Amino acid sequence: MASGPFASPVSRRLFLQASAAMAAMSAGFNASKASAADVPTLNVLNSNVAWSNALTNQVAAAYKPAKIVGESNPYETHYEKMVIELSQGSDTFDLVTSDSIWMRQPIVSGWAKALDDIKAANPDLPAMDVSALAEGSLTYTQLDGKRYGLPVAMTTPVFVYRKDLFEKAGIDKVPTTWTEYLAAAKKLHKDGVAGTVLLLGGQDALMSGEWGARMQSMEKLSSTEDGILDADNKPIFNKDGKGVAAIELIKELLPYTPKGSQGFDYPEGSSAMQQGGAAMMVTWSDVIVGIEDGPHKGKFGYTVAPVVKEQQQMIGGWSIFINSHSRQLPDAYRFLQWMATGKAYELFREAGESSICLKADIANPDITKTIPMAQVFKDFGPRKTASIPLPLYRIANANEVQRIIFEELQAGITGSKTPAAAMKDAEARTAAAIK
């Protein structure tokens, strides 16, 4: 297991390759800055989903004061790239996108520049008005009264299901509890079509999306509690056996999943649903964008995830912040200030992003006509679903601790350890790793 600023294993070879590539990129990029100093270029360490593609295409085309360019990275390598760049003080990237669960690390490490501090040093800059954005989306970019960035996507676990297969199986009530979900999986499971999909092979997919979604609904949490760590950052995720119980809920569904699902991560699960290999699944809303582009377009239903007891659900997403080592802090600030007015988020939506941040989009009664998955946010009200934060969002090494819990969850699910032993070991390892 890696230590220090790295929160997941990084091989020496990968590190050297990344460093060499970074040096070459930095040299070329800085030369381009020098040759076009009158036309600011803002370089973005970017992801590779709908909103991120729009960021360096439609959004870049709409923003005239600077040229917006970027490097796309798959989720699996994005975190390592971010840490390698920022921990070395690199100014290659002016702006950095981040899964919101990682945001505390760049903030407390000084890698993310407070927007308030940039404004204070440059009084002529416009005020940063975030009133157009949903409050839940702003949680992860603020700390101790300062704002360190903006959301680019607001996500939540979504229960996606095939309406036609529900009707065929005689299921006239969409499950609202995990007990009902298990019963539906048994009815729906047929040759060629699995009852459900479980994402057990991906660190984030299993720890937050599968286990977290179950465990966090077992007791009432406030809007700042994640049910994983207490206020002193001590592990509480197996209090009263709830961590073990969440593992057992996952294991009950294993007979009704596609072959090989123990290795599934986000791409495999989304593909299974899109191509008709499964009848339902619960996963993060931003990872199944494009599901309606497959052969079963119009057959999917969307709602909030089932619960064990409490009607509450995680709000997560992705954020964008300014690299504190950027040589173009005012220009980067101006871009984020323009984003906050709303135009960029409209372009994200028009490009196919379903994890919307704009209050106006969420309130629009017709939004589900263009974004069917937005129904999940609409259902928060009728289900009286409360918003709760992502697991581990308050600690600087969230990715490292998430990895520890993921490893123990896999052991408890596959049978190499009993669920009780896996949770005991997860608590001990987590307590030792917390920073």
Give per-residue pLDDT as tens, 6-50.
233 333 223 333 443 444 444 444 444 444 458 899 999 999 888
Q: What is the mean pLDDT of residues 294-318?
A: 96
The string of pLDDT tens digits covering residues 122-164 is 999 999 999 999 999 999 999 999 999 999 999 999 999 999 9
Mean pLDDT value of segment 262-277: 94
34 vs 222, higher pLDDT: 222
pLDDT tens-digit series, residues 162-171: 999 999 999 9
Average model confidence (pLDDT) for the chain?
91
Its pTM stands at 0.84
Give the torsion through C-alpha atoms of 283, 287, 291, 293, to 10 deg.
Answer: 170
Amino acid 36: pLDDT: 47
